[in-house]
Amino acid sequence: MIDKAVRPEIRSMTRPRHGGDVWNDLSVKDYSSNINPFGPPSMLGQYISEAAIDLHCYPDDSCTQLKDAIASHYETNVENIIVGAGSSELIRLFAEVFISRGDRVVMPSPTFSEYGFGCNLMGAELIEYTLPREQNFDLNVTDLSNQLSGAKAVYVCNPNNPTGRMTDKNDILRLIEEAARKETLVFLDETLLELSSRSSELSLVSEVENYENLFIIRSFTKSFAMPGIRVGYGFGSKEMINYLEAGRLTWNLGIIEQRVAIRLIEEEQDHVAAAVNMLDEEKLRMHSKVERLMGEVPMPDSYFFFAPLNHLGISSSEFRSAMLRHGVLVRDCSSFGNICSQYTRFCIKTPDKNDEFLDALSRAIDDIGEGRL
């Protein structure tokens, strides 16, 4: 009976895989997830305690004060903002509101798997645009634009996950304009820009009123290193936000999430800025040392490495196992598709933690060379 009752899209669905899966063994050092290397702000525990005194009340369903704080920080209008239980809720919500069965959706590959998962759930037809490996997976906006005829939406992640490549603002604007001519929506994920020194240069948040087909997501997860508290937010035209608000889950953010997020965005920007400065310096130092051990590795645009494993002659899953033998978790990129089966992803942290990573990497490579996998 249940087999007949379930929607056909669900029958063949498999859940996306992600990094950061160390909750069952906290002794493992996690380099698979890209979050603020300084960890959460030192005041986070106090913010949570102070926010918890009114849990007998329902939360504000409209998240008015949090939207005010976000609007002030980004110098935009409250009417252009929606908040969600992490950016993952907004990824799903966008598909639920705008994608119907049979709609064509253009999806770069490789990229974050939740986009495709949400669209598949709604019965979309995914049109895969393969990012060119020979060009370090840089996004060619002209080529991508040529795929948009008849498409309901196109997804772009900047910087892209897992490759870490960034696309210039003017190039994305060209894509949005071409998409508008073809009546295609543009979903732009800027969550990984939060810890980049180029965030203000590349962000298109200020453009959402100019393009009714543009929706942008950001998140507190990366910048404040708090994936255990789910707070994300998005920007779009007033009309787009109205439709998304109509379809979202009631009380999607609790009192703690709302009040903690307000304190963070208003009082902890120095914490984020310090991490950005440190990451820029460590990226340069790490790159030369990683290349010495792994062979040629592209300099990342962002604050994590997407490194080929062909020099070591092993797969992404084998490399993950080799690093785990030395207490370090890296991202098995095979979940991003076969094109990534011989790549690994690992983040940049503080200097001392990066030295620990490099030591584990050196020992793992010795094991690989001696056949001890």
Same domain for 103 and 18? no
> Which of 243, 258, 240 has its CA nearest to residue 188?
240
Reported confidence tier of residue 22, pLDDT bands at 50, 70, 90: low
Same domain for 130 and 185? yes
Looking at the predicted structure, is the pLDDT value of residue 191 above 60?
Answer: yes
Looking at the predicted structure, is the pLDDT value of residue 373 above 70?
Answer: no
Least confident of 3-12, 140-149, 150-159, 287-296: 3-12
For the chain, strand residue ranges (E) read 29-30, 81-84, 104-109, 125-130, 151-157, 185-189, 214-219, 232-236, 304-308, 328-329, 331-332, 343-347
Average pLDDT of 286-297? 94
pLDDT of res. 19: 63
Looking at the predicted structure, is the pLDDT value of residue 16 above 80?
Answer: no
Looking at the predicted structure, is the pLDDT value of residue 309 above 70?
Answer: yes
Rounded Cα distance, 202 and 168, in Å: 6
pLDDT of res. 236: 98
Neighbour tally for 333: CB within 10 Å? 27
For 227-330, strand residue ranges (E) read 232-236, 304-308, 328-329
Instruction: Decide: 91 and 85 in contact? Cβ < 8 Å.
Output: no
Same domain for 228 and 81? yes
Same domain for 16 and 69? no
Rounded Cα distance, 236 and 27, in Å: 41
Looking at the predicted structure, is the pLDDT value of residue 372 above 80?
Answer: no
Rounded Cα distance, 280 and 278, in Å: 5
Same domain for 193 and 257? yes
Kindly state whether residue 373 falls inside one of the protein's structural domains. no
Kindly state whether residue 339 falls inside one of the protein's structural domains. yes
pLDDT of res. 318: 94
Same domain for 98 and 217? yes
Least confident of 9-23, 145-159, 257-271: 9-23
Q: At a CB cut-off of 8 Å and minimum separation 6, what does 170 contact?
A: none
Tell me the two tokens of residue 175.
């894509």
Same domain for 48 and 22? no
Taking CA atoms, 27 is separated from 40, 328, 350, in Å, by 19, 9, 18
Neighbour tally for 182: CB within 10 Å? 13
Rounded Cα distance, 293 and 304, in Å: 17
Residue type, 161: N
Same domain for 245 and 290? no
**Domain range holding 181?**
44-268
Tell me the two tokens of residue 164.
């870490």
Instruction: Decide: 95 and 118 in contact? Cβ < 8 Å.
Output: yes
Rounded Cα distance, 229 and 259, in Å: 12
Phi-psi region of 203 (alpha: psi -120 to 50; beta: other; left: phi over 0): beta
Note the pLDDT tens digit of each residue in 36-49: 999 999 999 999 99
Q: Which string of DSSP letters, residue by residue, matches 139-197?
A: --HHHHHTT-TTEEEEEEESS-TTT-----HHHHHHHHHHHHHTT-EEEEE-GGGTT-T
Same domain for 198 and 312? no
Instruction: Decide: 151 and 127 in contact? Cβ < 8 Å.
Output: yes
| Mean pLDDT of all residues belonging to the chain | 93
Rounded Cα distance, 328 and 354, in Å: 11
Kindly state whether residue 305 falls inside one of the protein's structural domains. yes
> How many separate domains does the chain show?
2
| CATH code for the domain in which residue 264 is found | 3.40.640.10
pLDDT of res. 24: 55
Same domain for 194 and 59? yes
Largest CA distance in the chain: 61
Tell which of 236, 268, 300 closes a domain.
Answer: 268
pLDDT of res. 11: 76
Q: Give the three-state DSSP class for 90.
A: helix
Kindly state whether residue 182 falls inside one of the protein's structural domains. yes
**Residues in a beta bridge with 232:** 84, 219
Residues above pLDDT 70, as percent of the chain: 97
pLDDT of res. 100: 96
